């Protein structure tokens, strides 16, 4: 906030990186691509993460991978690393519960602080 930004999205407690990554990507998609206001985008992202099943998340991961690979035949080093990370997370879903992030601990810590 001292750097001049109007608001900050943060968590009230440490969150597992997989849940954090999913929520933040979905949040930014809702805010930047769908045009939702910041509070609405965050609420939608929390609801999406809370209600998503393993199958929903696997489909979401695949759609994100397809977006990256569909942009060009050749990926940058960053895109390659992101694709590998998404694929790893997608494979790990088999080890998780049916709704892996339904517990409030995974999504309720996210908050927006500042001027909206």
pTM (predicted TM-score): 0.86
Q: Mean pLDDT score of the chain, rounded to an integer?
A: 93
Among 5, 25, 45, 11, which residue's Cα sits nearest to residue 89?
25
pLDDT exceeding 70 applies to what percent of the chain? 100
Q: Where are the domains of the chain?
A: 1-52+105-116, 54-100
Per-residue pLDDT tens over the stretch 42-89: 999 999 999 999 999 999 999 999 999 987 778 899 999 999 999 999
Contact status, residue 27 vs residue 9, Cβ threshold 8 Å: yes
Q: Which residue is associated with the tokens 């397809």?
A: 66
């Amino acid at each position: 906030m001292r750097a001049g930004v109007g608001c900050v999205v943060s968590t009230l407690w440490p969150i597992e990186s997989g849940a954090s990554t999913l929520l933040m990507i979905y949040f930014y998609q809702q805010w930047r691509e769908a045009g939702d206001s910041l509070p609405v985008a965050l609420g939608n992202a929390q609801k999406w993460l809370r209600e998503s099943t393993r199958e929903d998340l696997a489909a979401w991961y695949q759609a994100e991978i397809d977006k990256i690979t569909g942009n060009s035949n050749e990926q940058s080093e960053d895109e390659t690393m992101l694709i590998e990370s998404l694929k790893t997370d997608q494979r790990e879903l088999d080890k998780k519960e049916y709704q892996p992030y339904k517990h409030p601990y995974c999504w309720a810590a996210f908050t927006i602080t500042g001027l909206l």
